[in-house]
Amino acid sequence: MLAAARILTRTMVVGAALLGAAATGCGSNDEGPAASTTSTTAPSTATIDEAGVEVPLTDAEEFLACVKERESGGDYAAVGPGGLAFGAYQLTQDAWDETTAHAGFTDLEGIQPNLTLPADQDKVAMALLEWKGEEPWTGSCTWPPGTGPGSGGPGDTSGDSSG
């Protein structure tokens, strides 16, 4: 029962974070699904644990919330153009199967990602991020946030004239 409540809480909080990410565009440059600009919900940077204590989202959770919004608009049932990428994180079947095998999620191997539970998609996306970093996804989301091109932070060479 506690595990189900934790998953529900995490799903609700990540969903709220996605609404906020849509409103901010995740640092987008007009790529991917259109972002709603009418939301008044601020991006969530915390979740509430089973004891009712606020726990900040990790950089990885923020990155994946951005990826989810950019790749599918938060649609866990999404099928990409051409039918080659599936689910909220738009993973190919090969990437899904390799990640589930690597992470030991053998019960999810061979299942088309968009046909799995949102919590399973989140779990596999986190495993893939921890395994391969942001390399499987391209776009304007950076991990950790504030470290990529255009961020002004570490790793930002967009204003560097030395090439």
- Min mean pLDDT across 15-19, 45-49, 146-150 is at 15-19
- Residue 36 is predicted with a pLDDT of 35
42 vs 19, 20, 52, 109, 145, CA distance in Å? 8, 5, 20, 36, 17
- Residue 49 is predicted with a pLDDT of 63
- Residue 23 is predicted with a pLDDT of 38
pTM for the full predicted model:
0.58
**Which of 22, 23, 29 is CA-nearest to residue 150?**
29
Q: Is 95 helix (H, G, I), strand (E, B) or coil?
A: helix
What DSSP line would sit under 48-92, residue for residue? E-TTS-EEEPPHHHHHHHHHHHHHHTT-TT-B-GGG--BTTTTB-
Domain ranges of the chain: 2-132
- Residue 99 is predicted with a pLDDT of 98
pLDDT in tens, 29-87: 334 443 333 333 334 555 566 777 766 557 889 899 999 999 999 999 999 999 999 99
